[in-house]
Amino acid sequence: MIDSTASIHPSAIIEGNVKIGANTTVGAFTIIRGDVEIGENCQIASHVVIKGHSKIGNNNRIFQFASVGEDCQDLKYAGEETYLEIGDNNTIRESVTIHRGTTQDQGLTKIGSNCLFMINAHVAHDCVVGNGCIFANNATLAGHVTIGDNVIFGGQAAIHQFGKVGSYAFVGGCAAVNKDVPPYVMAVGNYARPVAVNTEGLLRRGFSKDAIKAIRQAYKTLYRSGNTLEEALSQIELSAEQYPEVKLFADFLKENGRGIVR
């Protein structure tokens, strides 16, 4: 069903069970095919390809030559019914590629709201991306990656499959991330290593000076005091009782992932 207020260019190709919401525009030579739902007030430029099963929220902008909801590149994929969900207020720039999930995971690639994907960024199958994230040009997420809220990826940075990056972290340009990056941490290099707390980013997000001080102390306990992970975690959890911001850091360290950047 296409809302009567939506504007579809005559050269666009719309096939299958496609739903397009109010005041959404679809540009010339765009292809929307399969089980696709697009919300209200979206702007879909020319020469975009969107395939289903995909659900795209409201107020999203998708620029030319983007490929959204395409079959994944996993060699095990055999045409199973898999899904993509995208929230609201996202900007997906030119030549960005976002693939649906696989049955080897939850069958779902999921992106939150208020994210910016710059030119040529790639989100592989089964990734989960939080809210308010920025991925600069050519940033690459391998399959099954989990990204928290308000994370920034620099240009040409890449992360290994099944990797995790905690909320408010900053991954520098050209970084090669082969381990998990805890919340608030700035990681740079090939392979990526921790260098500092993302203090400027926290200030911009309204963190108090006391909270930032506690986070920086937790970082020093983990990375600058010669502690093992277990020793550092026991100390960090004491601070987490007073500062919920530190609890986010501690909870991440307790997860059983690929190990953290060191």
Which residues are identified as catalytic? Answer: 125-126, 143
How many Å apart are CA 104 and CA 145, to the nearest integer?
14
Contact between 262 and 193 under an 8 Å Cβ cutoff? The reply is yes
DSSP annotation of 214? H
- The DSSP element (H or E) to which 95 belongs, if any, is none
Helix axes 229-240, 209-223, angle to 10 degrees: 160
Would the CA dihedral through 224, 168, 116, 82 be positive or negative? positive
Q: In angstroms, how far apart are the furthest CA atoms of the chain?
A: 65
Helix residue spans in 35-150 (DSSP H): none
